[in-house]
Amino acid sequence: MAICIPPFYIGQEIIAIKNHSQGFFKKGDEFIVTGIIKTCCSFSVSVGITATTDEGQCMRCGAIYKLNSESLFNSHCFAPKIETDNFISMKEFTLKQLEYIGAN
């Protein structure tokens, strides 16, 4: 039996990697995961977008599922948001350390 691990967790910051077919979001839009469920064919996430209907439909197999107050979207539409503002390479880190050591 295979273990299914969700691709995201509730509270995680994610970013849309493609436009939604019905315009609910665009590539580059940022969200926070508010819920995640295993649907028939994959994982679906809710990101705070209010549902416009009380049912959703799997785009792969056509299965119908109940929605609460938020729309569900296929997790393949998103990727984790990665902050790179404070990222430095090991080379840069090493050079900074050498400068610091040399200054003392």
DSSP bridge partners of 44: 37, 74
Q: How far apart are the first and last CA of the chain?
A: 59
Cα 78 from Cα 95, distance rounded (Å): 36
Cα 74 from Cα 69, distance rounded (Å): 17
| pLDDT tens digits for range 54-64 | 888 887 788 88
Cα 36 from Cα 45, distance rounded (Å): 4
What pLDDT band is residue 23 in, cutting at 50, 70 and 90? very high
* Number of neighbours of residue 78 by Cβ within 10 angstroms: 23
| pLDDT tens digits for range 46-95 | 999 998 888 888 877 888 888 888 898 999 999 998 865 666 677 777 88
